[in-house]
Structure formats: structure tokens, C-alpha cells
A and B are shown apart, each in its own frame.
Chain A
Amino acid sequence: MTNSIEELSSADAIFIIGSNTSEQHPLIAMRIIEAVKKNNARLLIADPRKIPLTEFAEAYAPLTPGTNLAFINGMLNVIITEELIKEEFVNSRTEGFKEFKQSIIKYTPEAVSEITGVDADTIRTFARIYAKAQKGSIVYAMGITQHVTGTMNVSALANLAMLTGHIGRESTGVNPLRGQNNVQGACDMGALPNVLPGYQPLNDEKILEKFKSSWGEASNFGNGMTASQMMEEAAKGGIKSLYILGENPMVSDPDTQHVEEALSNLEFLVVQDIFMTETARFAHVILPATSYLEKDGTFTNTERRVQRVRKAIEPVGDSKADWEIICMLLKAFDCYAEYESPEEIMDEIRALIPSYAGITYNRIERVGLQWPCPDIMRPGTAFLHKDRFSRGLGRFSINEYRGPGEAVDEEFPLIMTTGRIQHHYHTGTMTRRSWALNREYPHGFIEINPFDAERFGVKSERKVKVTSRRGSLTTTAIITSKVKLGVVFMPFHFGEEAANKLTNRNFDPVSQIPELKVCAVKIEGVS
């Protein structure tokens, strides 16, 4: 997030797109509801499903999955046409406005309405409310990123914030809600193929020197493969071995059959996890790790706040904390790993990542600190881009709409979109083994609109067969007008009826994120 969670309560307009906030980030949704109730904030929601927060929304846009970019461009068009832009901000803080303006002319509300299925006046309402606000916040999640245009979707939201000056101030900004507890931290630490820890570039000699002296001259400072590319290469034979730490691609990744082929094709698969997951079954060696309750360390939340994780109980059985296991392997490769505790590892991190330099265990004993925090005298940073953007001026980008990678046809007439539910988490390894949660939702389901249910002979709470161009599965139908006509929704938490058996491997060309939010399916009643 460019801004802080706390700041949302003081926004006077909040635009949520592609985030089911009250189910996936309930405590952030509390701030949004507080903004509406106490601050009379105007809430705008664009989503193919009528998510619970729409109850508090002034306007709701039920857009067709995969058309976010057209919708955002439509809002940009209205803001320009109706002269709602924040000229002072555009002139002093940005560049590329002229070319951008040219590119946005064709996205009239009427043209965008055709693509998105949202009426033109609703698009105008969204644009006006957001642009005219004093403090407008944008909130998004995987409904924006898991598309073939995921990167452009995010860039378009950045255009929206720059055009209206809703960035670099309190209660504004472009705020992605990270799905997992430490996605932010894993990125910060450089668990990415194209940057070093702290997003430091691979081609800066001074930075490389710093890492060479810490890690050794012979370390690999190249640009590697993304997770999606590794999986493709494993299937083709280019990748011979994978080491998978705490992930379950057999349930979380698109096109399960392809993942199975890829994992079966490996010469050597190492899985480090707390349970025998669907993925671990393919392993040649399994290293039993501990959960967050059995170890010390830090997590960085979605607002960049670095917080302490503390060991509450001793490790179960003979399991070990992940850091201890990795240290054993580092030593087996003759690399330095003489750390007595995670705190000592943090000291090494602080020396290598400038934005973490001021974050010590001592300072975050009671409350966490938000990076950038470049030295121990500084308090951390509540919101980013105050006086300048990381690159200096903010650059307007040109993002031409293109449709999703897969379209419906006569045989596969419905768009399936996937997501999560409040009681379960990701591939369900933990929540499905937490009795009180599993009791509420012991199995998966598919949501279908009453008109579509009628059309395809689907009965409420009955078994249905769902088929895509990749495979098929049997699940339970839930008939609800929450989902838009022509759209079905399936949570992906349930391995035995894995939604990702159906999803496809169309990727965003820049980020390589799979388009998990759009695939074409057909549905038939089986009982």
C-alpha cells in the first residue's frame, strides 16, 4: 500500500476494485465501514460479484470479469472530458500527460459500457465521486492483478491517482491488499528473480559489491525465471529440480494437470512444509517445518509494517523452524550460516537493505515500523511519494484495453472467476485442519445466477459437473443473484474439487501472473 490502513477511515471517497475486502481483509474492511459511517465517505465498488461491502456503497458497478482496464480507462476519460483533473498536481509532479490524454479519448462511457456491461452513467458517477473527493483512496487486490492485463490494470489505477492528485497525501493512494501474511516481506527480501533484496537492481556495480562481499564473489546475480516460467520449464525438462518452501502449486496454480505433469517430470523435488500437501506427495524429500506459532521472526504487512512474530510453543515433533533448516543447507554448501537467532539474520538484512536499516527488534518490540525506515533515528513512513515519486516525476502510462485470454463460446458459455471465502485461506492446508473453520465450510461450491441456473438445469445445493477446456470436476451449486448473469464463481481452497483444474495458463506478458479470474466453462446438473 502507498498509504496506511489507519488512514482509510479518514478518506472521503474509497474506490474498491477487485477486492472482496470484508471477506479477505476483514480488519481493513472495518476501516472502510468506519469511513462511510463516521466520515460520510462515498464508497464505490466495481466487482463481478455483489460482495458484502456493496451494502455500504453509494455506487456499484457489476463489471464482466476481465474488463477492469476498460472500466478504469472509462473513468479516466470522464475525468478528462469533464475537466475534473487536478492540474496543479499533473503539471508539477507528472510527465507524459499529452500522449496519455490522446490514448484515452476513445474510452467514452458509452464505448466502455459495451465492453464492461456497466451502464455509462454509472461509469460517470464513479469518475465524478472519486475525482471530486478531497481524499480519495483506491483499494484493490487480485481481482485487478490476476489478468493478462494485470500490470496495465495497476498502471491505469496509478494514472487515476495521478490525474486527480490522490497520491502522496494522507488517506489517498493506490493500495493493493496483499493476500498472504508476508507477501510484502517476501518481495522486500528479494524472493523475486529480477531484483536483489530491497528491490535493488542487479546491474548496479556498487550494490553488487555490497552483496558480493556478504554472499561471496561467485554468487549468481543474474535475472532468473518467474514461478510460472519455472513450472513451464519443469514440464519441458529445462528445470530438473525444484525446492518448494511452504507453497502448494497443485492447488494454487492454474491448470492442475499441467502442474502435475511438471512436478512428475522433475528429477528431484524438495518440499518444506508443515503438512503432507497435494504438492508434497510428489516430493523426493520432505523437510518438516514449523508454523508461525513455533518460531521467532518478523512479517511485513500490507501497509509495509514490519512486526514481530514470536515463538508461542515448542516445535511439534521433530519439526524445525524454516530458518534453521535453510541454515543447515547453507552450511552443507559451505556458506556462512552461523546465526544464533532470527534477530542476527535481521542485522544482516538491515546492513544490506537501506529501507530496513532503521528497523531493529528492539524498536519493534511493542509496535511495528513501516518501511522505508533508513536509520534508527527515523520513525518509519506512513505514506509514500509525498514530495516525489521513486523515479522523480510520475509517468502517465498508456494502457490499451484488450480482452481476457479466453473467451466464452457455444460449448463453454459461462465465465468462471475464482477467489477465496472468509473461513478458508489459500489452499486450505491450515484452515481445513482448524475444526471451527472447517465445520462452517467443509467443502467447495460454485455460485451461479438464478437465470443461468434455470437455463442450464442447475438445482440449488445439488451436485453439478463443471467443465473447461482443461478438465472437469464435480462440486455443489449455490444459486445466488450475487453473481452477475453469465458469470460463475468458485473458491479455490478445496483440493478434492480444485477450481484450478479448470483455470488456464494465459499469463500477463510483463509480470507472468496467470489469469485466474477468467476461464470459460460449462455447467451441468448431475443429480
Chain B
Amino acid sequence: MKKVLTTCGYCGCGCNFYVDIRNNEVIGVTPKQDHPVSRGRLCVKGWQGHSFVNHPDRLRHPLIKHEDGYFKEATWKEAIEFTAKTLKGIISRHGGDSVGVFSSARCTNEENYLMVKLTRAALKTSNIDHCARL
């Protein structure tokens, strides 16, 4: 069994635990004894809230909605090209300020930073926010 130390993905407490892994599946967690917040304890979500990761509902492929209103699987190349092309079209017709971005408090610092860079440097808009507004 492999154990990987990480930070819980739920609330703002930021408890740490070891993820117990077998065959690329999360089979449990072990609290970290000397962590300044969790001190070897966890809440119910910290203990039990990770089985969603292998849930059959997980999105496994990029999806593009076709004219009939149904989503169809696409490759990453197709999905990224379609996204970039459509956004560029909208920006050239309506300007950057017609585009808005919701970044995510669920994502890492590095990802939020990149999202801000994408918004301001690539999409050339300043419309960026996230759920801290809620």
C-alpha cells in the first residue's frame, strides 16, 4: 500500500492526511499526527469524503455539444482548438469585455494564478472572480 501526504480538499481548515492507495485507487486516509490544525484528527468529510474520485459519473473525456443539443466525446486537441477558436471569434466581434471567467476556490494556487493570467493576458478581459463573492 502506498501512502501520500496531502492537504484535504474540503473546507478552509486545511487538515493534512496520508492518502492510502492500492492499484491507483484511494482506499482510505490516515490522519497526520503532528499537523498544526488537525493534530491527528479528521472530520466526517475528511474521513469519508474521497470515494467520489472513482465514481462512475466522473467526466472522462472532453465533450462538445453538437447542433442536436447532445454532447459528443472529443479529443483534447479538438476541444482546446474549438474553445480557443470560439473565444477568439467572440472577442473579435464583441471585445474582450464580453467574456467573463469564474475561477475556482476548489483549485490550487498555481491554477488560480494561471487562470488570472489567462484572463488578463490571453483573453484580455478583467472580468474574473470566484465564489469568495458568495
Contacts and interface: CB of A to CB of B under 8 A. Distances in A.
A105 interface: no
Interface of B: 2, 4-16, 19, 21, 24-26, 35-39, 41-45, 48-55, 57-65, 71, 74, 76, 79-84, 86-88, 90, 94, 96-134
Contact of A512 (B8, B55, B133): B133
B111 A284 contact: no
A190 B36 contact: no
A318 interface: yes
Contacts of B60: 288, 316-319
B11 A179 contact: yes
Nearest to A182: B105
A431 interface: yes
B51 A189 contact: no
A476 to B, nearest CB: 21
A293 B8 contact: no
A322 B111 contact: yes
Given A26-B13, A186-B132, A192-B132, 11 more contacts: A181-B7, A184-B12, A190-B116, A233-B100, A243-B101, A293-B6, A300-B109, A312-B4, A318-B62, A345-B113, A346-B109
Given A227-B133, A326-B115, A431-B45, A27 B109 contact: no
Interface in A252-298: 252-253, 267-268, 270, 273-276, 280, 283-289, 291-295, 297-298
7 residue pairs, one from A and one from B, having the closest CB atoms: A317-B60, A301-B14, A297-B108, A224-B126, A246-B104, A178-B12, A302-B12
Contact of B64 (A227, A284, A511): A284
Contacts of A270: 83, 87
A312 B19 contact: yes
Contact of B11 (A24, A246, A436): A24
Given A191-B130, A293-B53, A180 B113 contact: no
A334 to B, nearest CB: 8
B83 A329 contact: yes
Nearest to B89: A268
B14 A181 contact: yes
Contact of B12 (A183, A274, A283, A335): A183
A437 B44 contact: yes
A183 to B, nearest CB: 4
Contacts of A301: 7, 12-14, 37
Interface in A404-422: 422
B98 A238 contact: yes
21 contacts: A26-B13, A181-B105, A190-B112, A191-B103, A220-B96, A224-B128, A244-B101, A276-B59, A293-B53, A297-B109, A297-B110, A301-B7, A303-B37, A309-B9, A310-B6, A330-B118, A367-B35, A422-B43, A422-B45, A430-B49, A514-B134
B9 A181 contact: yes
A286 B128 contact: no
Nearest to A341: B110
Given A317-B60, A437-B49, A227 B7 contact: no
A295 B111 CA distance: 11
Contacts of A310: 4-6
A368 B100 contact: no
A191 B129 contact: yes
A305 interface: yes
B6 A180 contact: no
Contact of B107 (A28, A186, A303, A440): A186
A513 B82 CA distance: 33
A35 to B, nearest CB: 14
Given A191-B115, A273-B59, A516 B134 contact: yes
Interface string A314-356: 1011111111011111101101010000100110110000000
Interface of B is mostly: mixed
A233 B31 CA distance: 45
Nearest to A211: B120
Contacts of B102: 227, 230, 242-245, 247, 249
Given A287-B79, A288-B61, A225 B100 contact: yes
A146 interface: yes
A81 interface: no
A185 B112 contact: yes
Given A287-B62, A425-B49, A436-B51, A5 B115 contact: no
Contact of A275 (B25, B39, B59): B59
A307 interface: yes
B132 to A, nearest CB: 5
Nearest to A298: B109
Contacts of B117: 215, 330, 335
B49 A431 contact: yes
Contacts of A435: 51
A40 interface: no
Q: Which residue, A215, A230, A280, has most C-beta atoms of chain B within 10 A?
A: A230
> Which of B35, B84, B98, B102 lies at the interface centre, i.e. has the most chain A CB atoms within 10 A of its CB?
B102
A220 B108 contact: no
A349 B101 contact: no
B7 A307 contact: yes
A181 B13 CA distance: 7
A399 B24 CA distance: 54
A281 to B, nearest CB: 9
B112 A189 contact: yes
Nearest to B61: A318
B87 A241 contact: yes
B124 A220 contact: yes
A286 B110 contact: no
